[in-house]
Amino acid sequence: MRILLACASGFSTSILVERMKSYVQKEKLDITIDAVSEGRIASVIEDFDLVLLGPQVSHLEQKYRKEFQDLNIPIQTISMMDYGMMDGEKVIKQALKLLRKE
């Protein structure tokens, strides 16, 4: 599974990405995670299985869902609580749940 995180600048997700990677490593999951600024989503989205947006760009979720609907790549905003707590485990579980549901 390949997860793309996107936020306003691409920087604020770096701590969360590292915590997600730590959880993935601990659980021996086959998951790759990368982060970009929201303006770069279009240029990389096809390389990923799902996109998780930082809460600061949640207003773009519907726009991106419509724009990329033909790709059938789930797009969802990370919970503000999980993002604020930088809870990598919960964000990975959100991603796994999202892929099972879609």
The enclosing domain of 49 has a CATH number of: 3.40.50.2300
Q: How far is CA 5 from CA 26, 60, 79, 100, in A?
A: 20, 13, 13, 18
The stretch 8-34 carries a mean pLDDT of: 92
Helical pair 14-27 and 88-101, crossing angle rounded to 10 deg = 70
Given the residues 4, 5, 7, 45, the one annotated as active site: 7
Active site residue 7: yes
Domain that holds residue 66: 2-101
What's the domain count of the chain? 1
The stretch 46-53 carries a mean pLDDT of: 97
- Look at residue 102 in the predicted model and tell me its pLDDT: 44
Q: What mean pLDDT, rounded, does the chain reach? A: 94
- DSSP category for residue 12: T
pLDDT at position 12 over 90: no
Read off the pTM: 0.93
- Look at residue 100 in the predicted model and tell me its pLDDT: 86
The DSSP line for 37-100 is EGGGHHHHGGG-SEEEE-GGGGGGHHHHHHHTGGGT--EEEPPHHHHHTT-HHHHHHHHHHHHH
